[in-house]
Amino acid sequence: MVRLSVLSALVSGLCALANPLVKRASLQQITNSGISNPTNVGFYMYVPDKLAASPGIVVAIHYCTGTAQAYYTGSPYASLAEQYGFIVIYPSSPHSGTCWDVSSKASLTHNGGGDSNAIANMVTWTISKYKADTSKVFVTGSSSGAMMTNVMAATYPDLFKAAIVYSGVPAGCFVSASGGVDAWNSTCAQGNSIATPAAWANVVKNMYSGYTGARPKMQIYHGTADTTLLPNNYNETIKEWAGVFGYDYTKPATTEDNKPLTNYHRYTFGPQLQGIYAVGVGHTVPIQGAEDMKYFGFSGSSSTPATSTPATPASSAVPTKVATSAASTPTTGTGGTVAHWGQCGGIGYGGATVCVAPYTCTKANDYYSQCL
């Protein structure tokens, strides 16, 4: 029977080869996908050792000055992929800087030939190559990647089932009147782009005009002490998606204090929209990996609460440190120094400017420098 087991090992080896595939359990760049990639966005992915039979997909989009590699090491998604069997796609911005293009008409339009189009093409390629479960395709990102997450949800509502936004701006808020690609928009950053829910909803709907199908549910995190993308961007983002889904943004169905962490307030407007306003937290809110898994439905029950919570926070509300997330401590360190990933400069910024060793204060743009 030895011969039989050798044979079956050989057959399964050949099957693995026949699968077009990417090396497991490490970050891999896909260079021969053949997808249309009009803006030359870097295509990286992590396929876990323990890949599910019909895997889900999480698109994890890096912050400004970031890369696919930096978000891979600085966020918890790859280790969560091993736990839950999904594939992570890490797009890498092609722009100097390197923020995402969330300002050009091309990127703000379904199949418009911008960064959003390139990322969507990576998703459809991955769905087909890995026979992924299209009911488990999700997108998330931090800062510039959070802006892009809102843009992906608006331009490709047909692809994504849920989106989690860590400290972004509304889709279509960072527009460039002069048509600039990857342009900074200080009116929006400073929280001064204000519109009605109906007007914001039109901005979203115009990104994929004629589309009437389902849209991803949205979870929006923002810190009240964010001096890069001012906290009114939270309110405008909530208005935007409340407008799309027909919720009253002034009347959340449930309000939960100290959820998921102390001083965070979770507002559920309906099954499709949840806002988490993090009091005292700056730019960017730390990634809540375990909560993300609940929201995406990979673990436990969805974090959409069935009933309102008791007035006193449960002891589980005590913040736990996010284990693998280096990107999760953008706060001021001890002795007036700034921790890794924290903000250390920019117009309107009044905090510490010295980074803890060995990090260097690196300028992303006039409004934002970060300890990298």
Q: Which residues are catalytic?
A: 143
In the region spanning residues 169 to 188, those forming contacts with ligand NAG, defined by CB under 6 A, are 173, 175-177, 185, 187-188
Instruction: Give the Cα separation of 24 and 33 in Å (integer).
Output: 17
Q: How far apart are CA 215 and CA 211, in angstroms?
A: 10
Q: Which two tokens stand for residue 23?
A: 């090396």
Q: Provide the 8-state DSSP code for 259.
A: -
- Binding to ligand NAG by CB under 6 A, coded x per residue (else -) over 135-174, reads --------------------------------------x-
In the complex, the smallest distance separating the C-beta of residue 122 from ligand NAG, rounded to whole angstroms, is 27
The residues near 217 (Cβ < 8 Å, ≥ 6 apart) are: 161, 162, 163, 271, 272, 273, 274, 295
CA distance 61 to 89: 8
Helices 77-84 and 289-296: crossing angle in degrees, nearest 10, is 50
Q: Which 259-298 positions form the footprint of ligand NAG (CB under 6 A)?
A: 267, 277
| Distance of closest approach, residue 240 Cβ to ligand NAG, in angstroms | 11
Residue 180 C-beta: closest distance to ligand NAG, Å: 7
Closer by beta carbon to ligand NAG, 84 or else 221: 221
User: In angstroms, what is the minimal distance from the CB of 277 to ligand NAG?
Assistant: 4
| Residue nearer to ligand NAG on the CB measure, 176 or 262 | 176
Output the smallest distance, CB 189 to ligand NAG, in A: 9
Torsion sign across C-alpha atoms 99, 100, 103, 106: positive
Q: Tell me how far apart the alpha carbons of residues 358 and 190 are, in angstroms, rounded to a whole number.
A: 30
Residue number, 70 or 165, with CB nearest to ligand NAG: 165
State the nearest-atom distance from the C-beta of 231 to ligand NAG, in Å.
7
Task: Verify binding: residue 250, ligand NAG, rule CB under 6 A.
Answer: no
Nearer to ligand NAG, 24 or 265 (CB): 265
The owner of tokens 């309110």 is 235
Quick note: the x/- pattern for ligand NAG over 100-129, rule CB under 6 A, is ------------------------------
Q: Is the dihedral of CA 223, 228, 233, 235 positive or negative?
A: positive
- Alpha-carbon torsion angle 317, 318, 321, 322, nearest 10: 0
Strand order in the sheet with 162-166: 27-29, 42-46, 87-92, 57-61, 137-142, 162-166, 217-223, 273-278, 264-270, 254-257
CA–CA gap between residue 43 and residue 32 (Å, rounded): 10
Nearer to ligand NAG, 79 or 232 (CB): 232
Min separation Cβ 275 and ligand NAG, Å = 7
Residues 220-239 that bind ligand NAG (CB under 6 A): 232, 234-235
Q: Which is nearer to ligand NAG, 67 or 144 (CB)?
A: 144
Task: Give how many residues touch ligand NAG by CB under 6 A.
Answer: 13
Nearest residue to ligand NAG by CB is 193
Contact partners, residue 335, CB within 8 Å, separation at least 6 = none
Q: Which is nearer to ligand NAG, 28 or 176 (CB)?
A: 176
Q: Which residues bind ligand NAG (CB under 6 A)?
A: 173, 175-177, 185, 187-188, 193, 232, 234-235, 267, 277
